[in-house]
Amino acid sequence: MARIFIFIVVYILIFSCKSNLKNNDKVNENTIHWKNANYIDSVQILLRNDYKFAEASGSGASAFLVKSKKDTLLCTAKHLLGEAMGIEPEIKTTEFNSALHYWKAFPNTDKLSTDTIVGTKLITEKINDIDIILQECKLGKNNTILPLTPRFKDAKYGERFEIIGCEYIDFDCHQRIYYATAETYEGGQLFLRSKTDFNPVGFSGAPVIDAKGFVIGILSGGAEFQGNLYLAIEPLSKVKTYLQ
């Protein structure tokens, strides 16, 4: 599995075994569940980014809204601040707020929503060693983007997850589902084996949800190994203190 991790680290820069998974604790059954069989065509979740700093800019990849107990936050991948998006030197999280001109996130198409989310302040500025950034944000007056509820419990081996994203070549895509199952944890990341054949370029920051619609993390990287596509997921448990 270490070889898979090496391949995925390399692949991240292109796109922006025995299991040690623990048993999953029971989720809160009192949570109001939004997820249904046709959610992908009834609620908008996936967003893409457009952003500018003092001396750098970027466009693309993926983002989504996540609930904290006090607010709704914009979530995406931290490696969008560096080489993966052609930004050198990388913008450190401690420099983010002072250098930011704007950060906008919006759906790929207007099929379900025309809202634009505006990032206003990075709240994870003290964390520069994980691939997640969380921003305070301004929502549309009648926001139609669905914020997801985070899950902090570990995945079970073989548990099925859904990645919500769009391939770059799929110009009509508002969002699609890509299935994968949990393999192992390594280096603090969750590794999934994809059950869907797709090109993960542009999926950096895409939400990864469980069967009940809780978001466990973001897609951080992906690469093929021995004929299978493996995906590295950065767990939201790493930013739990900001979401509680």
Instruction: Return the closest-CA partner of residue 77 out of 130, 3, 5, 113.
Output: 130
Q: Give the pLDDT score at 21.
A: 53
- DSSP type of residue 130: S
| Residue 147, preceding peptide bond in cis (omega within 30° of 0) | no
Phi and psi at residue 184, to the nearest 5°: -165, 170
Tens digit of each residue's pLDDT, the chain (244 residues) = 555 544 444 444 334 444 445 543 333 333 457 999 999 999 999 999 999 999 899 999 999 999 998 899 999 999 999 999 999 999 999 999 999 999 999 999 999 999 999 999 999 999 999 999 999 999 988 899 999 999 999 999 999 999 999 998 999 999 999 999 999 999 999 999 999 889 999 999 999 999 999 999 999 999 888 889 999 999 999 999 999 8
Cβ atoms of 161 and 207 closer than 8 Å: no
Token pair in block for residue 13: 């820069």
How far apart are alpha carbons 214 and 207 in whole angstroms?
10
Element (H, E) at 10: helix 2-14
Cβ atoms of 195 and 205 closer than 8 Å: no
Other residues' Cβ atoms within 10 Å of the Cβ of residue 154: 18
Other residues' Cβ atoms within 10 Å of the Cβ of residue 27: 16
- Cβ-proximal residues to 40 (8 Å cutoff; 6+ apart), any chain: 164, 175, 176, 177
The reported pTM is: 0.89
Complete DSSP assignment for 71-119: -EEEEE-GGGGSGGGT-SSPPPHHHHHHHEEEEEEE-SSSSS----EEE
